[in-house]
Amino acid sequence: MAKPFLEERGLRLVALEQRHILPFVANLSAENLREFETLYQRSPLESLEAIVHNPLVYAVEKDGQPLAVTGIDPDHGFMWAMFSKDMRKHWISFARASIKLMAFYNLLHPRLTCDVWTENEMIHQWLVSLGFLPERAIQSANGQVVIRFVRCSPEQKSVQTTTLRPVLH
């Protein structure tokens, strides 16, 4: 069993492995399936297989079973998440453990962004509970709209790189 990056409320954040993909896709939430059908040109299986070796893609496990898959692009602070049907049973634990997940992601980037389809209102509420604020609506080429949410690290007073700040002599 992989060593977890985080453990909280019976959930473990581990590196995504090939063993997670098929059980996760077979149990993918109806919301995520609709999102893939409507917004993306790839299947969830193809998408996960393309990123399984990315060191910044994680599975959230409960008793060894993947409940969610999440990742971050540390260069831009863009985070994303997909959820299984079983997440509903563990949503409160996940929501509370997400505070540590955001702190972990803020170690990688001080400003997190997340684009969420307008149809996924539960995810909007989850992000707002974690300190994300809606920044703008973005319309895709196929006419669908996503909301860009932004969260700045509460540990930093500014999200600008310190090397860009003026120096007083």
Average pLDDT, the chain: 89
Q: Is the dihedral of CA 60, 66, 68, 72 positive or negative?
A: positive
pLDDT given for residue 89 in this prediction: 94
Per the domain annotation, does 169 fall within a domain?
no
Measured N-to-C along each axis, helices 91-108 and 121-129 cross at an angle, to the nearest 10 degrees, of 60
Q: H-helix or E-strand containing 134? A: strand 133-139
| CATH code: domain of residue 10 | 3.40.630.30
Answer whether residue 19 is part of any domain: yes
- 1 is a domain residue: no
Residue 61 burial (10 A CB sphere; 0-12, 13-18, 19+): buried
Q: How many domains does the chain have?
A: 1
Q: What is the pLDDT of residues 43-77, one digit of tens each?
A: 999 999 999 999 999 999 999 999 999 999 988 99
Decide if pLDDT at 167 tops 60: no
pLDDT for position 142: 83
Domain that holds residue 25: 6-164
Report yes or no on 92 lying in a domain. yes
Instruction: Give tens-digit pLDDT for 5-48.
Output: 999 989 999 999 999 999 999 999 999 999 999 888 789 999 99
Question: Tell me, what's the pLDDT at 169?
Answer: 45
